[in-house]
Amino acid sequence: MSEARELRDPKAIAGLLREIVELSRTVGRKVTLMEVCGTHTHAVAAAGLRRMLPDGVRLISGPGCPVCVTPVDYLDRALALADLSDVTVCTFGDLMRVPSSLSSLERAHAEGKPIEIVYSPRDALERARANPARRIVFLAVGFETTAPTIAAALAEAEQTGVGNFLILPGNKVMPPPMRALVEDAELEVDGFLLPGHVSVLTGWECFRFLAEDHGVPGAVVGFAPADVMRGVADLLRQVGEGRAEIANLYGRVVSASGNPVAARLVERFFEPVATSWRGFGEIPGSGLGLRPAFAHRDASLIPVELPPPHEPAGCACGDVLRGVIDPPECPLFATACQPATPVGACMVSAEGTCAAWYRHERLTGVTR
């Protein structure tokens, strides 16, 4: 059987489940594991993996959705920029419905504001090239996976002299919030399912601090059901044996050091900065800001008036992102907050934990 078929083979998954049950018995206590990738969150929910795990294994979700962790004041600034007479804001579609303090990009667009959905940073660059009289601002939101494409668009703008292409820096990197998670007194996590897509870019070694500094194991895994189950089994085995290592179970695409070409491109334009995460507050070194040499591309330096930042009343998205609660524990989940009428960012994005639970797990009785 090919590896691709085995990853989704019911018999292989059943075998892994039996192994997990036995490992859970060997550990002899409740084990809490966290996945920190939005794609994993949806893969787990869609396949029903959480319901398959034994009572001794609890799988929770973390800050794996870049749209969800983007703070409200970032949206406030984007909307303020769209109010300027010579600015067009370009964004990925999943940011459109995320609430700001007073409105949303979607609502402002419906009111006639110059806000456009694009499919890549280069689409925004082409709009800048075609509209030299306007400043085109791309909302640079994402983790390590989107940063190289944004850097590539900036490089092309520099090379071709498209001076009216700017970005509103909002990219984030994963290791600093994971350090915040293991140091969070409210949260007890015994192991992490590490993000596969991010690890392709960064390499798995950037997560070694979890094991070496905090004694918490991690496993880099892919996105098929068997990938995730292998990760759960590996983490349970490490916990049971009293080990803490970073296991690369996604070796078909992930290496120790990642993609050096992409890293050099990102480093040319960006430097680590402190930035705010919804639910976490400001985390040092967790954002990517433009280097001073490229300040002419930085839309955050354009003076605008901003309202006081205000999160939606009653929304517990921040606690969901930190893994402190599951979505059903939010008082708005599946009542006031639904995919058609989202109150919080975690219900808006396709990678949001609340969206995954609503779609796949709200009627299953899954609990902590």
Q: What is the pLDDT of residues 242-254, one digit of tens each?
A: 999 999 999 999 9
Would you say residue 1 has pLDDT above 50? no
At residue 34, the 3 state secondary structure works out as: strand
Q: Which pLDDT value is given to residue 132?
A: 97
Q: Return the residue matching tokens 């605008």.
A: 304
Question: What predicted TM-score, i.e. pTM, was given to this entire model?
Answer: 0.93
Show the tokens assigned to 87: 């600015």
Rounded-to-integer distance, Cα 150 and Cα 138, Å:
9
pLDDT > 70: what percent of the chain?
A: 96
- Contact of 315 with 54, CB cutoff 8 Å: no
At residue 186 the predicted structure's pLDDT band, cuts being 50, 70 and 90, is: confident
Could you tell me which of 214, 211, 210 has the C-alpha nearest to residue 175?
Answer: 210
How far is residue 138's CA from residue 146's CA, in Å, rounded to a whole number? 12
* Domains located in the chain, CATH noted: 3-66+178-248 (3.40.50.11750), 70-174+258-301 (3.40.50.11740)
Mean pLDDT calculated for residue range 84-102: 95
Residue labelled with tokens 């990197």 = 173
pLDDT of residue 10: 79
Amino acid residing at 336:
A
331 close to 190: Cβ distance less than 8 angstroms:
no
Cα three-residue angle 121-125-128, rounded to 5 degrees: 140
What pLDDT is stored for residue 362 in this prediction?
78
The yes-or-no verdict on residue 148 having pLDDT over 90 is yes
User: What single string gives the DSSP state of each residue in 174-208?
Assistant: SHHHHHHHHT-TT---SEEEE-HHHHHHH-GGGGH
- Least confidently predicted of 21-25, 41-45, 110-114: 41-45
**Strand, helix or coil for residue 192:** strand
> Does residue 196 register a pLDDT over 70?
yes
